A and B are shown apart, each in its own frame.
Chain A
Amino acid sequence: MTSPQPSLDGWVGTCMTSAFALEQDAELMLRVRDGDAVSFGLLLERHRGQVIHFVYRMVLNRAIAEELAQEVFLRVYRSRASYEPTAKFTTWLFRIAAHLALNWIRDRKNEKNQDRLDDDSRDGIGLQLADLRPTVEQKLVGNVKLQEVRKAIETLPSKQRAAVVMHKYHEMEYSQIAKILQCSESAVKSLLFRAYETLRLRLAHMA
């Protein structure tokens, strides 16, 4: 018995479906631009989860992730009048999300540094914003391993983290990540190589 090969019809069908989805996003956003609230609801429905998951994996805090994801959609709504479908809708959406998440990480880093300068004895404990409460998923999976993965990703520089999250969890192409992070494709590949190298070193014992 031979393994099933993807047929040309199937491939064409998949391409047409994804192209249709892309056009649908742009079409919906153009309707939002014209004041259609229902289309905004549909866009929210389609992309809400992806945005929340991306932001959460960037900031590692549920409350902050929810707040930032809402800000992403609020900005989409506020900018609807100037929307032009020049790029993929998801590229535009994730550019807003990445911008907000990277800014939040930068500001938190500054706060931590300032706190360290102000009071060495506190050691930044008061400003530790990461959500350390065990979640249901952690309780179920058990585990130390999950914590280690989280910790390893947390220690990556923010742009590397963004590139890994988009590459691994959102299955984006290098070109799309480059557009979102506003850098070249080769820069994205370099970011990913360095990030995965760090992760391989940190998580080597899990192999």
Chain B
Amino acid sequence: MQCPMKTKENPELLLDYASGRLTPEEAAPLERHLESCADCRAFSIAQKSIWNALDLWEPMPVPVDFDRKLYAQIDQYEKSGWWTKLWHRSIWPAGGFSTAMPIATACVTLAVGAMLYLPPLYRHMLDPSSPQIKMESSDLEQIEMTLEDMEMFKQLAPASAKS
């Protein structure tokens, strides 16, 4: 067989061999090759030792109240409103946010489009530095006076109605 290390044609063969995933029929030609190839032999020995070292890491035990907590969350979800359910189902589906990205992109495009193509008449409304939407102190005073006048008229209204 050709050297998996040198030809790079089937390099995973060595990984599979070290992890014991090859059938005896598949492993036999590789083992013959290993006898004559120092590189592959060194790789294989190192990979096997790593494979064994990784076995030291045992899995964490399953928490005893895992199911209870999960079913509590499911109950909470079932009791939530239709909007929340729709949000979870369509915007945040199980595999990721495949729907969310196009929606976000569409919103950004619309916002940019509005900024670019809005008639100049309305554009000042989006610009906080525009002088037309700056409220000067005289305007505030006028508003205060108007409100006071309205309050006064309100108080006077019943009296005039009686007379």
Is there contact, CB below 8 Å, between A74 and B77? Answer: yes
A200 proximal to B (CB < 8 A): yes
**Which 10 pairs, one residue from A and one from B, show the smallest C-beta to C-beta distance?**
A79-B94, A207-B49, A53-B59, A75-B94, A56-B60, A70-B70, A200-B46, A78-B88, A146-B56, A206-B53
Complex: A135 Cα to B56 Cα, angstroms: 14
B153 proximal to A (CB < 8 A): no
Is there contact, CB below 8 Å, between A203 and B11? Answer: no
Q: Mark B40-72, 1 if CB is under 8 A from A, else 0.
A: 000001110111011011111011001101100
| Residues of chain A having any CB pair with chain B under 8 Å | 44, 48-49, 52-53, 56-57, 62, 65-66, 69-70, 73-79, 81-82, 92, 95-96, 99, 135, 137, 141, 143, 145-146, 149-150, 153, 164, 167-169, 174, 189, 192-193, 196, 199-200, 203-204, 206-207
Interface residues on B, range: 20 to 34
B15 proximal to A (CB < 8 A): yes
Question: Closest CB of chain A to B80's CB: distance in Å?
Answer: 10
Complex: A70 Cα to B70 Cα, angstroms: 6
Most chain-A CB neighbours within 10 Å: which of B45, B50, B69?
B50
Is there contact, CB below 8 Å, between A78 and B57? Answer: no
B73 proximal to A (CB < 8 A): yes
What are 11 A-B interface contacts by the 8 Å CB criterion?
A53-B60, A62-B60, A74-B77, A146-B56, A149-B53, A168-B51, A199-B54, A200-B46, A206-B49, A207-B49, A207-B50
| Residues of chain B having any CB pair with chain A under 8 Å | 11-12, 15, 19, 45-47, 49-51, 53-54, 56-60, 62-63, 66-67, 69-70, 73-74, 77, 85, 88-89, 93-96
**B62: chain A residues within 8 A (beta carbon):** 48-49, 52
**A206: chain B residues within 8 A (beta carbon):** 49, 53
Is there contact, CB below 8 Å, between B70 and A74? Answer: yes
**A56: chain B residues within 8 A (beta carbon):** 59-60
Summarize A's interface: helix, strand, loop or mixed.
Answer: helix
Closest to B47 in A: A196
Contacts A56-B59, A77-B77, A207-B49 given: A96-B94 contact, CB under 8 Å? yes
